[in-house]
Homo-oligomer: A and B are copies of this chain.
Amino acid sequence: MKGMKPFQPDEATDAEVAAEAAAFGPLAQAVRELADAALRSTVDAATAREATARIQEVTARLAADQLPGSYGVRYRPDGQGRPWGNAVIGLRNPIAPPLDPVREGERSEGRISADFDLGAVYEGPPGLVHGGVVSLILDQMLGQAAGSGGRPGMTGTLTIVYRQGTPLGPLRAEAWIDRSEGIKTWAKGHIVGPDGITAEAEGVFILPRWARELIEKRGPDAATPAYYE
């Protein structure tokens, strides 16, 4: 796809992957907690300014040695992606909650679920999750359901129907493959809050050309990447 970086193999060993997760997973989590505190803090202006300066120092140290661009997705030799930069599920991405969807049932159904908690930084209307954050999470869940069922693709169309406000706090998301035809897969899903379903989604996911070529090259029996975003 236009603008997309070329397929990027993951050359890290298992031990290197584990070491990166152990060092940078907690770093991302610390930034998540800082983001929440920075938003909700009522300290005086001098304390806020001092905090700003200390954060800038840490940023300078971390940025002294960094990737030239975005994190991208590294693909393991078995075809599985390591999407640690992903805005929803990325282990290393501080704006990702992050979700950790688990597969349920038969692979062909592509059924997945995730339990997660959304705090103050995900707010839209007072006390509620931003309607666009609801769509962000459902886009990821539906795309990942398609991939989990062996039908990975990029979002073609996404429709969200909002049934009630989604309160900040503990939530659950579920998604599954509804049907598929050629390179298109239709997935559905919803978010469940304390008072039931808050929003429902349907999306069409389309296998991009570069992924089709890759799958052809590898043969139909090779594992496919679970998702492309």
Binding site for B on A (CB under 8 A): 1-5, 8, 19, 22-24, 26-28, 30-31, 33-35, 37-43, 45, 47-49, 51-52, 54-59, 61-67, 69-73, 85-88, 90, 92-95, 119-128, 130-133, 135-140, 143, 154-162, 164-168, 193, 195, 228-229
Contacts and interface: CB of A to CB of B under 8 A. Distances in A.
Given A23-B49, A43-B64, A135-B160, 15 more contacts: A1-B164, A26-B49, A35-B93, A35-B95, A38-B62, A39-B71, A40-B70, A43-B61, A47-B61, A47-B62, A48-B62, A71-B123, A72-B127, A87-B122, A132-B138
B165 A93 contact: no
What are the 9 tightest A-B residue pairs by CB atom distance, in nearest-first order? A124-B229, A132-B139, A132-B136, A23-B45, A131-B155, A70-B120, A5-B126, A5-B127, A135-B135
Nearest to A54: B58
Given A154-B165, A158-B159, A93 B121 contact: yes
B42 A38 contact: no
A208 to B, nearest CB: 8
A167 B3 contact: yes
A126 B73 contact: yes
Could you say which of A5, A19, A122, A229 has the most chain B C-beta atoms within 10 Å of its C-beta? A229
Could you say which of A33, A71, A131, A193 has the most chain B C-beta atoms within 10 Å of its C-beta? A131
Nearest to A164: B2
